[in-house]
Amino acid sequence: MRYLPLTDSDRGDMLATIGVSDIDDLFVDVPAEARLSGPIEGLPTHASEMAVEKHMRRLSKKNLAAADAAFFCGAGAYRHHVPATVDHIIQRGEFLTAYTPYQPEIAQGTLQMLFEFQSQVAKLYGCAVANASMYDGSTACWEAVAMAGRVTKKKRVVLSGALHPHYAEVVKTMAKFTEDEIAGGLPSMQGSPDDAGLIERIDENTSCVVVQYPDILGRISDLTEIADAAHKKGALLIVVNTEPVALGAIKAPGEMGADIVVGEGQSIGVGLQFGGPYLGLFAVRDPKHVRQMPGRLCGETVDAEGKRGFVLTLSTREQHIRREKATSNICTNSGLCALAFSVHMTLLGEKGLRTLAAENHRLACLAADKLDAIPGVRVLNDAFFNEFTVVLERDARELVRDLAEDDILAGVSLGRLFPHEEALSGGLLVAVTETASEEDIDALCSAISENMA
């Protein structure tokens, strides 16, 4: 048992020091009838590193890795090239095997990194302050809704129909227990989001409006009017972003008046990993809202010799101090994913991020034009970044399944996202990042045109 350093003679010596003769003497508080006498029956016993690796490798082979396919899936999780440096740094034991930085004198590495991360996120989102991360975009979205309720003392939540359905589901689930009233819907199958319709739904009792940008269909529009309308009624505008690379090309939500900006940070530094762990980003435009934020915050200070240093701060918002009055119950967050994001963002810098974004957009435009030229296929979006919706004259979900047989992962069908919604069943979300080659795009187009019938 390679992870256990004690030898039998150590164990004997230690039991003697403790003053008992048998290990079970240390388990006396467990009633005898609840104590198992031997290893649980019917389960395998310990195995060598080689044997375990073999087993896990066999399971991994049953999945089609994105790298082995022509790959166009998005809908809240995006495949980008992650520089080798990122994975090297997050595997340094001093980062990987540290805990939440409760003892700042010996955790400056994590703390300074978090301060840099918070600053990067704030700048990317056009906000004043970002926290040290949430679990993922969907839980960050719910936390933002909960925070808006605390700030406005109102309970009516207006969700855009073009919010990621999983995010909307999380909000609806949580709201059942907090008695928030949720007004949602389905995305309108139009070239541009129905901003006017959304604005109409805002009233005096609205705590917040939640809009995704780019939205679930990949559409983008200026959010300034929604922000103004929300503010007039005393509501907050929450903007959800699931593709941070987009913000290297399009306006920041904070610039357009968003009060809380949340999102998924996975695109930068964190791989696909079948959906987790990911990285929840959370920021506020106005520093006055900081004390209502959920999660950990890292701040600058000085040590006893006057040297700059960093600590976790404003923790009177948090569960370990405030208990049932905390702004959130979150404890463990996504620290290592925040590190991956920060390293990748540092490698990119503004120049790299903008170049990356431009290339994503260029390839997406190319793919959109080629797809639009196929009979029976129409691009829905007026505007988009690296993901757009095509409307097919056949069930898109079936098509995706068919194409997967030939190692083409054509995208995410709206039927997968919104099961049982007939009107959306022809919709296919196609995401095109820098990892897709022009050859992949051609392969996708010919496969789709061959399979339209």
Partner 1 sequence: MNAPNKSGWKPGTPTDATSAMNGPDTVTGNRALMLEEPLIFEIGDSETTGVDFAFASRLDLAGVEQPKQPTAASEHRSRLGGLDRAEKIELPGLSEPETVRHYTRLSRQNYAIDLGLFPLGSCTMKHNPRLNEKVARLPGFADVHPLQPVSTVRGALEVINELAFWLIELTGMHGVAMSPKAGAHGELCGILCIRAALEARGDAREVVLVPESAHGTNPATAAFAGYRVEDIPANADGRVDLEALKARLGPDVAAVMITNPNTCGLFEPDMKAISDAVHEAGGFVYCDGANFNAIVGKVRPGDLGVDAMHINLHKTFSTPHGGGGPGSGPVVLSEALSPFAPLPYTARTDDGTVHLVEEEDAESFAQEHYGTTMQSFGRMTAFHGQMGMFTRALTYILSHGADGLKQVAEDAVLNANYVLRSCEDVLHAPFAKSGPCMHEALFGDKGFGGELTTLDLAKGMIDEGFHPMTMYFPLVVHGAMLIEPTETESKASLDQFIAALRHVSSRAMDGDEGLKSAPYYAPRRRLDETQAARKPVLAWEEPEAPSGTPTQSERGGR
Ligand X SMILES: Cc1ncc(COP(=O)(O)O)c(C=O)c1O
Residues 318-347 that bind ligand X (CB under 6 A): 331-332
> For partner 1, which is the closer residue by CB, 184 or 234?
184
Q: Are 224 and 250 in contact (CB under 8 A)?
A: no
CB of 365 to ligand X, least distance (A): 43
Distance CA 385, CA 91 (A): 32
- How many angstroms from the chain centroid is the CA of residue 36? 41
Picked from ligand X, partner 1, none, the partner binding residue 375 (CB below 5 to 8 A depending on kind) is none
> For ligand X, which is the closer residue by CB, 17 or 332?
332
Distance CA 148, CA 2 (A): 50
Binding residues for ligand X, rule CB under 6 A, total 2
Q: How far apart are the first and last CA of the chain?
A: 58
| Amino acid occupying residue 232 | K
Residue 160: name the closest of 122, 126, 134, 190 by CA.
190
Q: How many residues does the chain have?
A: 453
Distance CA 71, CA 15 (A): 58
Q: 208 has which bridge partners?
A: 157, 236
Picked from partner 1, ligand X, none, the partner binding residue 49 (CB below 5 to 8 A depending on kind) is partner 1
Per-position b or e across 305-334, b if 16+ CB within 10 A of its CB: eeeebbbbebeebbbeeeeeebbbebeebb
CB of 331 to ligand X, least distance (A): 3
> For ligand X, which is the closer residue by CB, 244 or 294?
294
> For partner 1, which is the closer residue by CB, 345 or 390?
345
CB of 152 to partner 1, least distance (A): 18
* Secondary structure of 361-374 as H, E, C letters: HHHHHHHHHHHHCC
> For ligand X, which is the closer residue by CB, 21 or 329?
329
CB of 329 to ligand X, least distance (A): 8
Picked from partner 1, ligand X, none, the partner binding residue 19 (CB below 5 to 8 A depending on kind) is partner 1
Picked from partner 1, ligand X, none, the partner binding residue 71 (CB below 5 to 8 A depending on kind) is partner 1
CB of 220 to partner 1, least distance (A): 6
Picked from partner 1, ligand X, none, the partner binding residue 2 (CB below 5 to 8 A depending on kind) is partner 1
CB of 334 to ligand X, least distance (A): 11
Picked from partner 1, ligand X, none, the partner binding residue 94 (CB below 5 to 8 A depending on kind) is partner 1
> For partner 1, which is the closer residue by CB, 206 or 342?
342
Count of Cβ atoms closer than 10 Å to residue 225 Cβ: 15
> For ligand X, which is the closer residue by CB, 235 or 330?
330
Distance CA 86, CA 313 (A): 27
CB of 320 to ligand X, least distance (A): 8
> For partner 1, which is the closer residue by CB, 20 or 423?
20
And the tokens for 119? 């600053």
* Secondary structure of 252-293 as H, E, C letters: CHHHHCCCEEEEECCCCCCCCHHHCCCCEEEEECCHHHHHHC
CB of 216 to partner 1, least distance (A): 12
Distance CA 243, CA 213 (A): 9
Cα–Cα distance list, 429 to 217, 333, 347, 360, 451 (Å): 7, 30, 29, 15, 17
- Give me the residues that bind ligand X (CB under 6 A), please: 331-332
